[in-house]
Amino acid sequence: MAVLHLMVGLPGSGKTTRAKALAEQTGALRLTPDEWQTRLFDDDMHHPDHDRRHDAIEALMWDVAAIVLKQGGEVILDFGFWSRAERQNFAQRAAALGAQCRIDYEATSLAELERRVLARNQAMQEGHFVIPLENLRDWAKLFEAPDDRELAGNF
């Protein structure tokens, strides 16, 4: 059966690490926008076109994901999915293609997110943007953690 996995969380929450392990375990296609964006545009976090580029990459990734799901495959979208509305939207898209939708989420404190992002910024790892801690703190105010209903697959 086709399955869409949504990797949920803020930067530093371990989404990509978990997505890579899940892809290895299941054979699912993993789509991580930051890897594509940094390959195409380097670290463009502060470029005026960053958000537009990111949205375009995610749209292309969804097009690829939809094809795989229609064929009965498994896809991991490593997008972050910060809002319930966005998660519901993708769950509905998956259902329209006959696919199940599953959330992968691990609660991580803001202090731990800050520690991880700071370490990642200093390491300048490939496929990652340098994220100012002020941005992370602002994003944490916007983040809507999935509730028990969502985690159980009830969107």
pLDDT tens digits, one per residue of 85-120: 999 999 999 999 999 999 999 999 999 999 999 998
pLDDT tens digits, one per residue of 121-146: 888 766 567 888 999 999 999 999 99
pLDDT tens digits, one per residue of 23-67: 999 999 999 998 888 888 877 777 888 789 889 999 999 999 999
- What is the 3-class SS of the chain, one letter each residue? CCEEEEEECCCCCCHHHHHHHHHHHHCCEEECHHHHHHHHHCCCCCCCCHHHHHHHHHHHHHHHHHHHHHCCCEEEEEEECCCHHHHHHHHHHHHHCCCEEEEEECCCCHHHHHHHHHHHHHHCCCCCCCCCHHHHHHHHHHCCCCCHHHHCCCC
Query: 3-151 maps to which CATH number?
Result: 3.40.50.300
Indicate the burial class of 120 (C-beta count within 10 angstroms; 0-12, 13-18, 19 or more).
Answer: middle
